[in-house]
Structure 1
Amino acid sequence: MFVVSLNYKVPLTEIDRLQAAHIEWLKGCYSDGIFVASGPKKPRTGGIIIAQCPREILDARLAADPFAKAGAADYAVTEFLARMTATGLDALKEA
């Protein structure tokens, strides 16, 4: 499983311009079962994505993000093993 931290490199006006395309990209990643959760940071300096897929698939998907294609965000990816989860999230546990 991965935690992806996006950090915006451009003014929020540029992020807002790309937002609709970014949301469509997110929907596709959810539809394909790659993303588990996502949302903006507070304050709005970027976002967080939780993903569960092979690393090469994640890297390809991140490269296709409209934010990445426009050079509007940097991505820091951290891999971790979900050994414990809250009730109802057992499907996310990794051996």
Structure 2
Amino acid sequence: MREVLDRSGWSYPEAAAILTRAGLGNYDRSKVQKMTVGRKVTLAEAEALAKASGIQAPVTNPVDDYASKIRLLSDSDREMVFALIDRLPKADPPN
């Protein structure tokens, strides 16, 4: 988020107006500022800012996000997650 603001030259209120116009809710200076210091930016927010700025949104892999979260679980919770994953139906490989 900080990089988008720096590269676009937008102020917090300008970025807030862009996100609000994108229909993602009501944004103000404070909400945008929080996005620069810790609050995760949603995919919809990243896409709206990328579209408005012409700066490509970073591509994230949801599997990497899940893997990092699973590593933080206790051993018993991690075992439970893996047991649930094992119970999921197997998907056909993509063509």
TM interval, shorter chain, is 0.3 to 0.5
More strand by share: 1
More helix by share: 2
Name the larger-Rg structure.
2
Q: TM-score, normalised by structure 2?
A: 0.36
